[in-house]
């Protein structure tokens, strides 16, 4: 329904990355876990796209699908990921290796996922540079120190000789960012990059990411469950629930005119400056079980306003404002009630 009035962009190269109807599943003993269930979005150069949702909603799997670094049991079962006009889901491993790091980089919540404990910081940075650029050892060394300076690591000349465990958490995060950005990728995917950090360190890292984006011009995909981080970092936001996108729009649209019952619920449930004296309004029910998905809207079992149709049909994306789409029948309430009334 929504696709009818979706504006086709004249020039697709306005988008760096296009994810179209992506389905990613894990094949486990208990059956097929449909972690990502048909999501589509486009990423503009130099912009920050936020992906928000509670744990298990499929944010990381989306990120890993783009990078194609899924666990062995995981597979993209349908859909495409198009980078600068090329579908990368059928690229071979060699091409993908080039792609990772030099075109798209990812950083994680735990820097030790990317850093090897037995090598010095400098060695790892140099390797990353050499792998993607064919620079000489000397040049790579220079670049490593340059990058450490860029990400605000003090005394970079002596830091390169240190091992990851000799650095503080915030420092490690900076080193990981330096590694991710060493080859000036077009896209930086950040999967909960500050979730394990204290707020003042988090502020340092977020500030750093914004600064680097200004300098280097890369796009950022910011994956987090933290609505505060999303609000302060993102141009555009995807809200995920149960492996689907339930709402998308600009930060202002999502925060000031939420149009999906789940987004509304999330915003009511968190403490904000303006609800300090009031009771929080929790989202009822229990988090989703992907092995036992409802037939209709994924959020239906927890939704207070669910209608009959929500039980049986999956809502399309409806335009609810400028650059703002929501997959919730509530936006068609009059239509739906009319129809249900007639039945």
Ligand X SMILES: Nc1ncnc2c1ncn2[C@@H]1O[C@H](COP(=O)(O)OP(=O)(O)O)[C@@H](O)[C@H]1O
Picked from Mg ion, other proteins, ligand X, none, the partner binding residue 46 (CB below 5 to 8 A depending on kind) is none
Residue 322 makes contact with other proteins by CB under 8 A: no
**How many residues does the structure list for the chain?**
343
Q: Which helix (H) or strand (E) holds 332?
A: none
* Cβ burial 82-110 (10 Å sphere, 16+ → b, else e): bbeeeebbebeeeebeebbbbbbbbbbbb
* The binder of ligand X chosen from 57, 105, 202, 327 (CB under 6 A): 57
Q: Which is nearer to other proteins, 20 or 235 (CB)?
A: 235
209-228: contacts with Mg ion (CB under 5 A): none
Counting DSSP H helices and E strands in the chain, the numbers are: 12, 12
* The binder of Mg ion chosen from 37, 60, 124, 327 (CB under 5 A): 60
Picked from other proteins, Mg ion, ligand X, none, the partner binding residue 238 (CB below 5 to 8 A depending on kind) is none
Q: Which is nearer to other proteins, 221 or 283 (CB)?
A: 283
Residue 7 makes contact with ligand X by CB under 6 A: no
21-40: contacts with ligand X (CB under 6 A): 26, 28, 33, 35
Residue 305 CB, shortest distance to other proteins, in Å, is: 16
Q: x/- string (CB under 8 A) for other proteins, residues 259-298?
A: ------xxx-xxxxx-xx--xxxxx--xx-----------
* The binder of ligand X chosen from 41, 48, 52, 58 (CB under 6 A): 58
Residues touching ligand X, count (CB under 6 A): 16
Angle at Cα 219 formed by Cα 214 and Cα 222, nearest 5°? 105
φ/ψ of 72, rounded to 5, equals -60, -35
Structure tokens at 181: 């950005």
| Of 53-61, 154-162, 169-177, 305-313: span binding ligand X (CB under 6 A) | 53-61
Instruction: List alpha helices for the chain, DSSP H.
Output: 59-67, 93-102, 121-133, 137-150, 156-159, 169-181, 199-216, 227-233, 251-256, 261-269, 308-312, 333-342
* The binder of other proteins chosen from 157, 252, 304, 340 (CB under 8 A): 252
Secondary structure class of 285 (helix, strand, coil): coil
CA 20/CA 41 separation, integer angstroms: 7
Residue 29 CB, shortest distance to ligand X, in Å, is: 10
The residue to which tokens 């280097």 are assigned: 216
Residue 131 makes contact with ligand X by CB under 6 A: no
* The binder of ligand X chosen from 37, 60, 65, 213 (CB under 6 A): 60
CA 181/CA 177 separation, integer angstroms: 6
Query: Are 213 and 245 spatial neighbours (Cβ–Cβ below 8 Å)?
Result: no
**Binding residues for other proteins (CB under 8 A):** 54-55, 154, 168, 170-171, 198-204, 206-207, 225-232, 251-252, 255-256, 265-267, 269-273, 275-276, 279-283, 286-287
């Amino acid at each position: 329904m929504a696709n009818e009035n979706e504006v086709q962009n004249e020039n697709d190269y306005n988008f760096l990355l296009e994810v179209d109807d992506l389905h990613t599943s894990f094949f486990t003993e208990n059956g097929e876990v449909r972690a990502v269930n048909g999501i589509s979005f486009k990423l503009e150069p130099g912009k920050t796209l936020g992906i928000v949702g509670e744990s298990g909603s499929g944010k990381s799997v989306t990120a890993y699908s783009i990078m194609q670094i899924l666990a062995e049991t995981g597979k993209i079962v349908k859909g495409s990921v198009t980078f600068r006009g090329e579908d990368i889901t059928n690229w071979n491993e060699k091409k993908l290796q080039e792609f990772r790091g030099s075109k798209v980089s990812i950083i994680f919540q735990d820097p030790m996922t990317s850093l090897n404990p037995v090598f010095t910081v400098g060695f790892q940075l140099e390797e990353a540079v050499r792998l993607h650029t064919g620079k000489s050892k000397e040049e790579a060394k220079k670049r490593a120190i340059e990058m450490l300076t860029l990400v605000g690591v003090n005394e970079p000349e002596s830091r390169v000789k240190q091992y990851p465990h000799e650095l503080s958490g915030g420092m490690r995060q900076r080193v990981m960012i330096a590694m991710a950005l060493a080859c000036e990728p077009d896209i930086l995917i950040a999967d909960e990059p500050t979730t394990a950090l204290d707020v003042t360190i988090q502020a340092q890292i977020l500030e750093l990411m914004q600064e680097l984006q200004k300098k280097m011009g890369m796009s950022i995909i910011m994956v987090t469950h933290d609505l505060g981080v999303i609000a302060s970092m993102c141009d555009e936001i995807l809200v995920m629930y149960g492996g689907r996108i339930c709402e998308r729009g600009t930060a202002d649209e999502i925060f000031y005119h939420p149009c999906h019952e789940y987004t509304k619920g999330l915003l009511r449930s968190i403490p904000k400056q303006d609800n300090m004296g009031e009771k929080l309004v929790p989202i009822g029910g229990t988090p989703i079980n992907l092995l036992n998905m409802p037939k209709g809207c994924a959020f239906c079992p927890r939704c207070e306003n669910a209608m009959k149709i929500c039980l049986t049909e999956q809502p399309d994306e409806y335009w609810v404002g400028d650059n703002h789409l929501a997959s919730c029948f509530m936006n068609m309430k009059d239509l739906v009630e009319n129809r249900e009334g007639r039945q």
